[in-house]
Structure 1
């Protein structure tokens, strides 16, 4: 089974998501701005979220971490390396903060750096990739600050409020890391 250690930064702690996080994760699905920034259009029941938390805790092809403060274990969001391809040493990255009230505090930047460090140093990945919507320049800036490079654009992939949006593809390679 894939080891998922606690990752500690300056302000935050990343701990593996457990089924106990289901209520907070479900509550975060009510934050309209977080849902927009992640392009989440579907709705979920609490039971679906609980089963997801249970499933990911056991998964060997992904690491899902709750973002928490050092002095408070409350779920503030999640940061994930998923679709891990062990043969090609690659993974996809995603992050979501639970509420727009958490934006602009540095939590996303620190969580991104911690999970990228874990991906390259511990999991020995060669490539980490992500997609970010073109209406989210704040996230694009964070990813560039951590070292991600823009690779291309997937045009008109998200229909949001009657308007198509592009997804920017970004990645970081192990020799660009650090």
Structure 2
């Protein structure tokens, strides 16, 4: 996948991105919202091996860039029945709160519906991540359920999540 909209680019993550992805994923401040306040503890080689399994059909990890500078990562995964599950993280703190997330997510959603033929997109987020929930709802995602105390993070603290879904007819395109 290679998507561009003015200064923003979404591209397939490649072996050359493994070190950066490893750094982001091992950073507890980046990964805390996903239940990993101590990071994933992964290696560059493990990340490279995971990237080799990516495909357009099964799903991909993607790098997001603004003005040719990587700012985070996103992914999609084919869960069957024309449904894609997605995730997004703006990993560079200096790039947060600039509106990039909304535009980049709209770019991905548009491509999943129009180019890859998905009929529905699903995602989940931590119940405390109100900033992400605002973006998802702005793009037309509907809150399906709240999963109270659904899992424990690395520190043993219960976390709750919110499930969202989006069909093409409800998509509000902010590209």
Equivalent in 28, 40, 61 of residue 32 of structure 1: 28
When the two chains are superposed, the root-mean-square deviation of aligned CA atoms in Å is 1.8
Q: CA deviation at 1:84?
A: 4.1
| Alignment match, 1:54 | 52
Asked whether the 8 Å contact 1:130–1:170 carries over to 2, the reply is yes
How many residues are paired up?
169
> Could you report, residue by residue, the CA deviation over 1:140-177 in whole angstroms, capped at 9, with x for unpaired residues?
11111111110001221232344311110001012212
| Alignment match, 2:60 | 63
CA distance in 2, matches of 1:50, 1:62: 15
Q: Does 1:166 align with 2:163?
A: no
Asked whether the 8 Å contact 1:149–1:171 carries over to 2, the reply is yes
Q: CA deviation at 1:55?
A: 2.3
How do 1:1-178 residues align onto structure 2 when only pairs under 5 Å count? 4=1, 6-40=2-36, 42-56=40-54, 58=55, 60-69=57-66, 71-72=67-68, 74-85=69-80, 88-160=81-153, 161-178=155-172
Q: Which runs of 5+ in 1 are unaligned?
A: none
User: Structure 1: which 4+ aligned runs deviate by more than 6 Å?
Assistant: none
CA distance in 1, matches of 2:104, 2:161: 21
